[in-house]
Chains A and B, each alone.
Chain A
């Protein structure tokens, strides 16, 4: 009879719902605070939020961020104020996606997306420059040829920033303390952040 008990397992599984997904054509919802690759945000008027202050580079435990600031020209400023991020590079061979940079950023310029499916054929490609990191004119992450993601996956780009706003102070539950983003406007506060 032992030989039939094996089939028993087979038949039992045949009628259970299937959990294998059609990845990569279909993807599962990612957790709210999932850490993917970064984007550099812009204000609703298109100005860059990054002011090149290097706080992200200073706080990065993996030392994977390289930033250089420069003077904004008064006639065609890149960001509001005196200074803008002239060079911004993140080396994804080093980044551990801890999001300390996002917490350190005084202008919410750098946030993390949910995008994580990318691989490189050489080391130089692993260094994302401002060209790759800066959001496009719709405020969405720029898709790189070596990145695999579907439309709509780039909607959520700033959850961690919203969760950690005002140092996680419970008094700020549900309060918006950030500026609007190009393409998305002022984002809703994340719910239950002090729980």
Chain B
């Protein structure tokens, strides 16, 4: 956001500095290299002045104002280091330490504790207090994940303010104010916020500690790497830390355009899944009907043989690849090159039937997360962000609550952001298109003269409804002027996978098969001509025996695909199944070859978030056993099929992507290494957002900073040349291209390859009418809950207990209509199957709709949905 405030001059400790008028004194001092000690003030929260640690002297002001609540004015003269200030700091610290226990050796914060560090730097050294300290019962759990040690609390209110201001879940508050003041939860109402882990990170002492990290390591035996979280597609930056080759925690790193330093609990604690007992350690092949461990060469030979056999007998269209949205961009690119360049099939889909067609994902004008802050309005037409993309929820909530951006909520049922919406359009699941037609009218009063783009958060709100209604709605909304879209897909690197060609009809770099044919034939030697099948199409074909070899890349396909019967039939019907995964999932158990893969934290590379922002992920630990990174598995398979990619390192793959994939022009290893907050594609539109200098850290010599600046030797500092890329072939570019084509083709430079036009979606979509609902049926809305049976949660001991119980939520009127009691089990039947489920009344669910989260429990939504239908209608009958 452009800062248009008046600039004033202030003098801090004798140094004159410029600052925008009204900026907080503590921030001005920090930005200019003067660190004022603080406990309660946090960059991302409103100042409260509770801890009194940042008292400074201001000339002409009586007493000592706290720097965190004082704003700068012109000509202000401030002293932060005088004797008086020193005495005040001594006093504050001595008071804080009166009741703070000195159990630092057993405290998780010990060694990286702001109270320790600041006592050492600013404190009196000795305490005059000899009486008994205040005592409370040692740690009490305030949730499944967070422990509270009230003795250590210094009452800075960072945690309670976080819960209230940032997360909007004020489940903790101060109670017993006075001498016994403490953080409280309501009895039987634990701190179940999805963001509770952040309170542990912001706590300036060890009062709040995280159960998964408790006593696991001390700060001095940790080593860290900066990385992007791949739990969902928001791509929060974090500092991944390990001790003795074991991941022990992830801390949020403050990145302005993405996560502001926050993480959700699933992302924060999900690293435990890396060390799950059931991780596959060795490749396996099927011998005498069962999977047995074997060597890598054996397994790779067998896999390549299976592909080759199908290729020889039935041609490339008989081979299909599903998945690949959990790996890095480099993995995705080589899977795409293996499938499309080596095997020659276009039956490739990274999305598992729960996303949107690639045309919509790639072809809509993109918004970035910071666009939310400056938007004229935000339209929510998609999943419950709180459940699926929690940190994006925080950003949308902030835009609305703090910055006053109005929200238009278009949804079937209430969700996490509904209460912040200025206007709401409710529709039956599947009726998104007709709801979209009402948007223009509803939007006008909200915008009311506000400038800025209209940001649409677009996605599949549930898996029981097909993508079709959302696509139709997108085509309608696209007509509203000045709209930009954040396509809210869920899996970690699904955007990167689609960008790099793991989608039917597309080649790497956001080009269609047609547009990119010439370029990729030149780069790869061949490219598929026919548009292939998507995941549902692949499983349909496989169940009819038309798929000779099925490659499943890193997906728990049986649980993640909305239609379980179709997957099982597809996997069973495929001639030869190769499964690449970290664990032996249900589908993998039926595979002919199983290849173990490394996961997040065990491999380096880049990932792309839902904005199209590419950022680096770091390798922190070595995998146990013999798993290989996906890109290596793809290379090995290609080698056995006769193509040597000749790509050994992640950087080499990044450079090839920059050379070959049109949308990735210029985004080479060097730029990726230097771009601090990542690179948003296409670079041509987002070049001015690049930040090439290292991250600024307020106090590098204090131990609590989650990341340290990288040393100067880490990367070569080269001035980044601003070169306009040749992306779209307009008249002047064509002339340039003609000139270049006269030169000999130089494969080391992408300019030597034939141009390929980036895909733009025409948004011409003939909306299919959604079938009507008869009065006796309920329409199913199956969104997701943050904690589900997915691998991250199911393999993380700390999170497993948080998976909610399965229940079908309906309007109370439906319960009485069926004639059962609240909570009673009923038989639920759809065109696909029937289940016995407990029924819960919920007045927030509109009549005619039934809500059940996907992928919870042994059986569930996956057994009720038929993906060939647009909507899922169900009937209830009593068991009596």
Contact = CB atoms under 8 A, between A and B. Distances in A.
Chain A CB within 10 Å, residue with most, of B139, B215, B218, B220: B215
Contact of B105 (A51, A57, A66, A68): A51
B106 A82 contact: yes
Nearest to B110: A53
A52 B138 CA distance: 18
Contact of A106 (B105, B217, B220): B105
Given A54-B221, A58-B220, A58-B221, A82 B138 contact: yes
A83 to B, nearest CB: 4
The B interface, classified by DSSP as helix, strand, loop or mixed, is loop
A132 interface: no
A71 B138 CA distance: 12
Contacts of B139: 82
B619 interface: no
Nearest to A52: B215
Interface string A41-64: 000000000011111011000000
Contact of A71 (B111, B214, B221, B244): B214
Contacts of B214: 71
Given A82-B138, A82-B139, A54 B106 contact: no
A50 to B, nearest CB: 10
A53 B106 contact: yes
A55 to B, nearest CB: 6
A57 B218 CA distance: 10
A183 to B, nearest CB: 24
B221 A55 contact: no
A69 interface: yes
B221 A69 contact: no
Interface residues of A, number: 17
Contacts of A83: 106, 215
Interface string B219-233: 011000000000000
Contacts of A53: 105-106, 110, 218
Contacts of B105: 51, 53, 55, 106-107
B138 A54 contact: no
A82 B110 CA distance: 14
B215 A71 contact: yes
A110 B106 CA distance: 16
Contacts of B111: 58
Nearest to B243: A68
Contacts of A51: 105-106
Given A54-B220, A57-B221, A81 B215 contact: no
Interface in B82-135: 103, 105-106, 110-111
Nearest to A71: B215
A106 B105 CA distance: 7
A148 interface: no
A58 B219 CA distance: 9
A83 B106 CA distance: 6
A70 interface: yes
Interface in B236-268: 244
A58 B215 contact: no
Contacts of A107: 105
A171 to B, nearest CB: 13
Contacts of B216: 68
Nearest to A83: B106
A68 to B, nearest CB: 8
Interface string B555-597: 0000000000000000000000000000000000000000000
A67 B111 CA distance: 16
B103 A81 contact: yes
Interface in A25-48: none
Contact of A69 (B103, B106, B220): B106
Contacts of A70: 215
Interface string B190-219: 000000000000000000000000111110
Contacts of B244: 66
A71 to B, nearest CB: 6
A66 B246 CA distance: 14
Interface of A: 51-55, 57-58, 66, 68-71, 81-83, 106-107
Q: Which 3 A-B pairs have the closest CB atoms?
A: A53-B105, A69-B215, A83-B106
18 contacts: A52-B106, A52-B215, A53-B110, A53-B218, A54-B217, A54-B218, A54-B220, A54-B221, A55-B105, A57-B218, A58-B218, A66-B244, A70-B215, A71-B214, A81-B106, A83-B215, A106-B105, A107-B105
